[in-house]
């Protein structure tokens, strides 16, 4: 978290301070995580002496971890409900639908899983409609005050010089609680304000951060050393195989190589051996043998399995290729296998919900400003639905046993293939009347 003292004015100096701190402390770490997501781990840059095999097998474990963790959190659409606020909630949900909020939620969940934080921008299009955009956390951030509540003071989106069309200067857009302005400079420390500020009509800083946990740490960073160890081990196993295939041929009791007996045959001895596949030794004490490295594949595989198991355990993402993930496992058994991921996601939910609540305040403020129904975001319930394979038979049995004890709408919310419980109830009532 980047903070400035409470009451500090948002001006050129405070933006320069925040931008320099971000560029020095956070941006390099995020670029490193980008490499791991794209399959460029430490082994990708490993060098070996000239002539030695140098296979560099980078396993995209980071992509697997991020996909599993983010999909479990936001793979299914997030639901919203609120008592006595149907009109306001309907207007908000329609705004989210038009802004493609479900896709943005998935992208923010992936960002939070990888970098430890996701960054979202709310803006108004040419028709004054609320729109959402996920910004790269490697170039966008929110600055908070140092009070106990850590209120957002400003949001900054920096663009580094680009080879095409970017010139030789940094550019930045800064949002406060009421306006935005542009800045540019040769470095983050030398940013200067350009032009006059413009109002943005949101009742707060329209840049929102979605944290992964209280320390803003991603799910990949704690297991980077294990990823590096697995890559190095598997790369060296291939190197050993290649060296085995390219073993040296050792001649004992042979002082030199005689030329070929056939006239005009000037082939080197190595080529003659490969092509003729025969050799004449000078006496019976001479011998020829391969100089090879003994490979212990059993020990290497045990070590590889151990590292892989540690990766899944410490990242709390299940190994779905494990035989224990059988297709006929019951729902309870599956939940035990996913307990680590479930606990991890519970923590994610608490922090992701804070970001969604902040988004809701900003969007609801604009809706009310345009004459739409009012909404109290603090009274809206945010429900995360798990993205899991469903056992329809188990679901049906559970719902049947609860029918009459639990409202029908709540029961239908638990059915995986039903997205809108109210619409499903209306369809059922209409069908009943027709009959």
Closest to 235 in 3D by CA, of 320, 292, 307? 307
Confidence band for 292, pLDDT divided at 50, 70 and 90? low
Provide the edge-to-edge strand list for the sheet that holds 207-211: 130-135, 117-124, 207-211
Work out the mean pLDDT of the chain and round it to a whole number: 85
Q: Tokens 């390219």 — which residue? A: 246
What local confidence, expressed as pLDDT, does residue 403 receive? 80
Q: pTM above the 0.85 mark?
A: no
**Model confidence at 382: pLDDT above 70:** yes
Residue 394: CB atoms within 10 A of its CB come to 12
Which has the minimum average pLDDT: 161-170, 187-196, 323-332?
323-332
Confidence band for 299, pLDDT divided at 50, 70 and 90? confident
Between 109 and 413, where is the model more confident?
109
What local confidence, expressed as pLDDT, does residue 261 receive? 61
**Model confidence at 408: pLDDT above 80:** no
Alpha-carbon distance of 202 to 363, in angstroms, equals 8
Calculate the alpha carbon distances from 243 to 162, 197, 198, 202, 250 in Å: 43, 65, 66, 64, 15
Domains of the chain, residue spans: 2-217+348-389, 248-291, 392-435
Q: Find the angle CA(35)-CA(41)-CA(46) to the nearest 5 degrees.
A: 125
CA 49 to chain centre: 35
Cβ–Cβ < 8 Å for 180, 157: no
Q: For the segment 34-57, what is each residue's pLDDT rounded down to a tens digit?
A: 999 998 999 999 988 887 888 899
Provide the token pair at 385.
């639905």
Segment 113-129 shows an average pLDDT of 95
- Beta strands 170-175 and 179-185: pairing type? antiparallel
Q: Three-state SS for 45? A: helix
What local confidence, expressed as pLDDT, does residue 272 receive? 67
Which has the minimum average pLDDT: 61-70, 226-235, 373-382, 385-394?
385-394
Segment 305-320 shows an average pLDDT of 89
**Model confidence at 365: pLDDT above 80:** yes
Segment 153-159 shows an average pLDDT of 94
Closest to 92 in 3D by CA, of 83, 84, 101? 101
Contacts of 389 (CB under 8 A, 6+ apart): 334
CA 203 to chain centre: 30
**Model confidence at 331: pLDDT above 70:** no
Segment 340-347 shows an average pLDDT of 92
Alpha-carbon distance of 349 to 221, in angstroms, equals 19
Calculate the alpha carbon distances from 406 to 89, 140, 364, 379 in Å: 23, 45, 31, 22
**Model confidence at 315: pLDDT above 70:** yes
């Amino acid at each position: 978290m980047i903070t400035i003292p409470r009451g500090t004015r948002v001006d050129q100096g405070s933006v320069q301070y925040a931008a320099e701190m971000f560029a020095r402390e956070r941006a390099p770490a995020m670029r490193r995580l980008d490499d791991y997501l794209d399959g460029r781990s430490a082994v990708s840059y490993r060098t070996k002496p000239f002539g030695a095999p140098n296979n560099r097998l980078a396993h995209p474990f980071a992509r697997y971890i991020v996909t599993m963790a983010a999909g479990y959190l936001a793979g299914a659409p997030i639901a919203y409900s609120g008592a006595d606020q149907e009109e306001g909630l309907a207007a908000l949900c329609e705004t989210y639908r038009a802004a493609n909020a479900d896709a943005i939620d998935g992208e923010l969940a992936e960002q939070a899983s990888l970098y430890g934080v996701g960054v979202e921008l709310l803006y108004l299009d040419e028709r004054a409609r609320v729109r959402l955009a996920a910004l790269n956390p490697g170039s966008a951030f929110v600055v908070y005050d140092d009070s106990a509540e850590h209120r957002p003071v400003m949001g900054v989106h920096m663009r580094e010089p680009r080879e095409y069309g970017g010139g030789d200067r940094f550019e930045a857009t800064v949002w406060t609680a009421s306006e935005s302005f542009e800045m540019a400079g040769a470095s983050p420390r030398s940013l200067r304000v350009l032009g006059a500020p413009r109002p943005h009509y949101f009742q707060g800083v329209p840049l929102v951060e979605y944290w992964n946990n209280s320390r803003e740490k991603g799910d990949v960073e704690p297991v980077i050393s294990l990823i590096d160890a697995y890559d190095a081990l598997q790369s060296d196993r291939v190197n050993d195989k290649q060296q085995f295939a390219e073993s040296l041929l050792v001649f004992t009791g042979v002082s030199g190589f005689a030329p070929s007996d056939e006239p005009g045959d000037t082939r080197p001895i190595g080529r003659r051996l490969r092509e003729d596949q025969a050799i004449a030794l000078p006496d019976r004490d001479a011998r020829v043998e391969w100089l090879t490295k003994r490979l212990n594949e059993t020990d290497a595989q045990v070590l590889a399995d151990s590292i892989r198991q540690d990766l899944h355990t410490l990242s709390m993402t299940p190994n779905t290729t494990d035989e224990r993930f059988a297709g006929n496992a019951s729902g309870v058994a599956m939940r035990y296998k996913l307990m680590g991921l479930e606990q991890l996601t519970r923590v994610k939910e608490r922090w992701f919900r804070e970001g969604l609540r902040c988004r809701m305040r900003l969007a609801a403020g604009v809706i009310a400003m345009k004459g739409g129904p009012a909404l109290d975001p603090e009274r809206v319930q945010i429900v995360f639905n798990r993205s899991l394979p469903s056992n329809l038979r188990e679901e049906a049995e559970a719902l049947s046993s609860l029918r009459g004890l639990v409202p029908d709408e709540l029961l239908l919310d638990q059915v995986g293939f039903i997205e809108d419980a109210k619409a499903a109830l209306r369809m059922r009532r209409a069908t009943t009347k027709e009959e």
